Amino acid sequence: MTLFRISLLAALIAIVSGCGFHLRSRIMLPADVGPVQVTSRTSYSTLAEQVANGLRASGASIAPEDATDVAALSIISERWGNRAIAIDANGRAQEYSLRFAAIFMLTRADGSVLVPQQVIELSRDYVSPPQNATGTDTEREILAEELRREMAASILRRVDSVVRARLQNPVQDPAAPTSTSTSDSEEMTMPAPAQDGDAPASLQLEAQPPAASEAMPAPVEASPAVEPAHSDDPT
């Protein structure tokens, strides 16, 4: 069953990779934004590369890494976590939730904020039989790649939705920082960080996903009062 599950996950990743997580329409960016430079505080960030590829595929012009005085989509933080969610009769973890969180913002060439700090958190559950550590590691690597691709698509969708809202309502500022958490079965919006660079308690994860035997702190409860605006390489 484990081999079948891994094969199925690999097939799904291949399908997602082939389609390149294309958005349904071009990303909405103001005409005066110009080329966009995608940066990350994480060295050799696969997520930043995927976001840049998505922007390019959606019609945006991508600025080179050494460009100056250009718009910047900055990935401020990439964090991973692993949480045990089921144990067997002997107290050994049997199922985990792999989580990936990112904080980003988009600024114009003059430094003004177009999309303020946004927080997105994704998760995927997987089974981890204690007697099959090798299969678990492989499955976790596949899920991590899936989460990266989904995070890149989520960042692009968030940029598009915030920019559209701002262009449609120029007098209002729809850009209050927001934080969204998604999993296989639910989506919630949590309080956003109060200051740039700060993350809510649920996003205090690790730069790399912990081993399957390590658990991460439980997430902060979602705040029903807030309306939604959805690090390194772990392999």
Q: Check pLDDT > 50 for residue 37.
A: yes
Residue 235 forms part of a structural domain: no
Q: Are 36 and 135 in contact (CB under 8 A)?
A: no
- What is the pTM assigned to this prediction? 0.68
Residue 221 forms part of a structural domain: no
Residue 231 forms part of a structural domain: no
- CA–CA gap between residue 113 and residue 72 (Å, rounded): 10
CATH assignment at residue 35: 3.30.160.150
The tens digit of pLDDT for each residue in 102-112 reads: 999 999 999 99
Q: Which residue has the higher pLDDT, 30 or 49?
A: 49
Neighbouring CB atoms inside 10 A of 225's CB total: 7
Residue 219 forms part of a structural domain: no
Residue 140 forms part of a structural domain: yes
Query: What's the count of helices (H) and strands (E) in the chain, helices before strands?
Result: 3, 6
| Residue range of the domain that includes 39 | 2-203
Q: Which residue has the higher pLDDT, 228 or 177?
A: 177
Q: What is the pLDDT of residue 208?
A: 63
Residue 33 forms part of a structural domain: yes
Residue 123 forms part of a structural domain: yes
Q: What is the pLDDT of residue 135?
A: 64
Q: Are 127 and 155 in contact (CB under 8 A)?
A: no
Residues 6+ apart with CB under 8 A from 14: none
Counted domains in the chain: 1
Confidence of residue 40 (pLDDT cuts 50, 70, 90): very high
Pairing of strands 178-182, 113-127: parallel
The tens digit of pLDDT for each residue in 163-220 reads: 999 888 876 554 456 666 665 433 333 334 434 444 444 445 666 655 544 444 343 3
Three-class secondary structure of residue 218 per DSSP: coil
